[in-house]
Structure 1
Amino acid sequence: MTAISLDPVDWRLLEALQRNGRASYAELARTVSMSPSAVTERVRRLEEAGVITGYAAVIDHERIGLPVLALVRLRYPTGNYRPFHELLATTPEVLEAHHVTGDDCFVLKVAARSMRHLEEVTGRISGLGPVTTSVVYSSPLERRPLVL
C-alpha cells in the first residue's frame, strides 16, 4: 500500500470532514476557499484513493445504556486466530480490537451495561487466554482528527 501525497487543501478538507462528516460541499468549499464543484472532485478523489474510508455517527455510549468502558488486554497463546475472530463476530460489546506488540497480543475496547456485564464479557474473552482489564475512569481525549 502506497501513501498518497496530500496538499494543504486536502488536509484542511480532511480535518473539516473528521470534525463534521455531514458537512455539505458548500460548507467545505467555504472552509477551503474553493468552488463546491472543485471540493466535490477533491473529496471524490480522496474517497477513491482510500484516504476517506467511510463516514459514521459518533455515539455517546452512556446515553444508550453502556456506561462502562474498559480496555481488555488479551495474551493469546496460539497462532490459530479463528476462535478469536469468532469471538469478535459474536461479541458486539467489543468496539475495537488491536493486534499489538509486547506481552499482550490484543487490546480490546469494550462497552458494557454494568460491572457485572463487563465481568461476563471478559469471562468470555478469558476463555481464549489470560486477560488484564482496565476500566476507563474518563477520556480526556476520545478522538482526535488527523491533521497536517
Structure 2
Amino acid sequence: MLHSSHMSSSEVLDRLDHSLIAALRKDGRAPVAELARELGVTRTTVTKRIERLQEHGVIVGFTVQLGHDAAHDVRAICHLAIEGRTMNAAIATLRGMPAVTGLHATNGEWDLIAELTVPTLADVDHTLGRIREITGVHRSETSLLLRSVLV
C-alpha cells in the first residue's frame, strides 16, 4: 500500500504523477517495467518520477496491506472533541492504546480523529469505552469502516 502526503504549494502534480500514484496504490510492488508499460513511458521516467515524489514527500513509504477479511480486523474512525488544555494528555493516552492505529489533529467540529483497528466488534466497544474515559474527551462519534473502495 502506498502512503502519500502532499507536495508543497509550489510543486504541482501532473497527469503522469496522478496516474503513477494510482498505479502504485493498486500494486505498490509492481515492477518499474510494468508501470512504464501501463503508463506509456520509459522505465527511466517512472524511476525518476518515483524518486521525485519521494524527495518531495508525496510518497512517504510503501507497506503491506492485509486483506481485512483475511485478517478479521474491524476498523473504525472515531471523531473526538477535546476540552480545553487537555489535548496533549489526551494525545499521549491515545498514542499508548494499541487499538489506535492512526491519530490525526483536525479542524472544525472535531479536534482529533482516531483510527481504530481491533479483532472484534466487542473490542471496538471496549476501546470506545476506554476512550470516553480519557480526561478531556467530552464528545465522540464513531463510524465502522465496512470496506475500502480506493483499492
Q: Flag whether TM exceeds 0.5 (same fold).
A: yes
Judging by fraction of residues, say which structure has more strand.
2
Aligned position for 2:138: 130
Aligned position for 2:110: 104
Gaps of 5+ in 1: none
Aligned position for 1:84: 90
- For 2:80 and 2:57, the matched residues in 1 are separated by 30
- For 2:75 and 2:89, the matched residues in 1 are separated by 23
User: What are the residue-to-residue correspondences of 1:1-148 with 2, within 5 Å?
Assistant: 1-66=8-73, 68-126=74-132, 127-128=134-135, 129-136=137-144, 138-139=146-147, 142-144=148-150
**CA apart distance, 1:143:** 4.9
Residues 66-89 of structure 1: per-residue CA shift (max 9 Å, x gap)? 3x3333222211234322222232
- For 2:149 and 2:60, the matched residues in 1 are separated by 17
- For 1:37 and 1:137, the matched residues in 2 are separated by 38
TM-score norm. by structure 1 comes to 0.78
- For 2:139 and 2:123, the matched residues in 1 are separated by 16
- For 1:143 and 1:98, the matched residues in 2 are separated by 21
Change beyond 3 A, Cα 1:60–1:37: same
Gaps of 5+ in 2: 1-7
User: Per the alignment, in what secondary structure is the counterpart of residue 79 of structure 1?
Assistant: helix
Change beyond 3 A, Cα 1:104–1:44: closer
TM-score norm. by structure 2 comes to 0.77
Residues 26-61 of structure 1: per-residue CA shift (max 9 Å, x gap)? 011112222212221121111111111111222234
Would you identify which runs of 4 or more consecutive aligned residues in structure 1 move more than 4 Å? none
Identical residues among aligned pairs (%) = 25
